[in-house]
Structures are given as C-alpha cells and as structure tokens.
C-alpha cells in the first residue's frame, strides 16, 4: 500500500480561478466538477462553483480545491496551513516560484538559507501561503 498526501484547498467562489492559476504555475491537467454537474446545487446561483477540482502535473505536483457553498460556514483564516513544494531541480523550482509570485505577497524571497539550497515563502493572490525549497545536499 502507498499513501499520498494532497493539499485540499477550500475557497468561497475562487476555486476554479485558483486551480487554473496553479495549473499555469505547475503545468499538468485540470479537472473540475461543478455543483451543477453533480445536480447538487442548493442555490442555483452556485451551480457553476467547484464541488471538486484537481490539478495534477507530471512532476508529481497535485492539489485539490472546492468552493464551500454559502449555506456552510467558511473562513479563510490567517495562515492555518502552508503548502510546501520541495523540488530537486533549482531551475524548475525557480520557474514555479516566478509564476506563483505573480500578484503575490513575498514573505521570504527565494534564495539560499541556513537549511536549504533554495527557500522562499509567499502568499499568493488567493491567500494561500506557499513554501518552496530545494534541500541542502548532505
């Protein structure tokens, strides 16, 4: 048996835009199922919102997201989690960083750190905090 962990991000109306953005940063395939597709929209105005979506890239990157319906409480919170992306190719990691950094708040610029060959942290345009790093060689 193998176990994989996939970040599952919750939004209020921004899931599709966020998934499209993450696909533009990491590449891969985007799959989106809406409440309307499932026949499960409590509010017809929410039929086009994402009940389940995923980006999966050949590199192994995967993230899921959905839109919390208005009938359920939701709060973006303040840094309830970080999404960590660890790579082994500095050029690939730097390219992903540059794409994620579009309209983002950079918390720690991508660069060498005491514990990693490359490390950076940013909060993207959707309020998600990303940590990217390239481990130091041992």
Positive or negative torsion for Cα 45, 48, 50, 51: positive
CATH number attached to the domain at 8-67: 3.30.720
pLDDT tens figures, 10-21: 999 999 999 999
Q: Which pTM does this prediction carry?
A: 0.87
pLDDT tens figures, 17-64: 999 999 999 999 999 999 999 887 888 999 999 999 999 999 999 999
DSSP per position, 6-52? --EEEESS-HHHHHHHHHHHH-SEEEEEEHHHHT--SSGGGTTSEEE
pLDDT tens figures, 87-104: 999 999 999 999 999 999
Say which residue the tokens 């708040």 belong to.
Answer: 105
Tokens of 133: 């790093």
Mention the CATH class of domain 82-135. Answer: alpha beta
Per domain, the residue ranges of the chain are 8-67, 82-135
Q: What number of other Cβ atoms are within 10 A of residue 49's Cβ?
A: 24
pLDDT at 3 over 90: no
pLDDT tens figures, 108-119: 999 998 889 999
């Amino acid at each position: 048996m193998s176990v994989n962990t996939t970040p599952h991000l919750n939004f209020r109306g921004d899931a599709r835009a966020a998934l499209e953005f993450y696909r533009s940063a990491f590449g891969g395939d985007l799959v989106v199922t809406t409440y309307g597709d499932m026949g499960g929209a409590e509010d017809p105005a929410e039929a086009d919102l994402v009940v389940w979506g995923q980006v999966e890239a050949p590199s192994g990157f995967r993230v899921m997201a959905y839109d919390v319906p208005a009938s359920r409480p939701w709060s973006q919170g303040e840094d309830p989690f970080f999404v960590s992306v660890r790579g082994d190719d500095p050029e690939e990691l730097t390219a992903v960083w540059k794409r994620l950094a579009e309209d983002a708040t950079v918390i720690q610029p991508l660069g060498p750190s005491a514990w990693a060959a490359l490390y950076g942290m940013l909060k993207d345009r959707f309020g998600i905090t990303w940590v990217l790093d390239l481990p130091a060689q041992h």
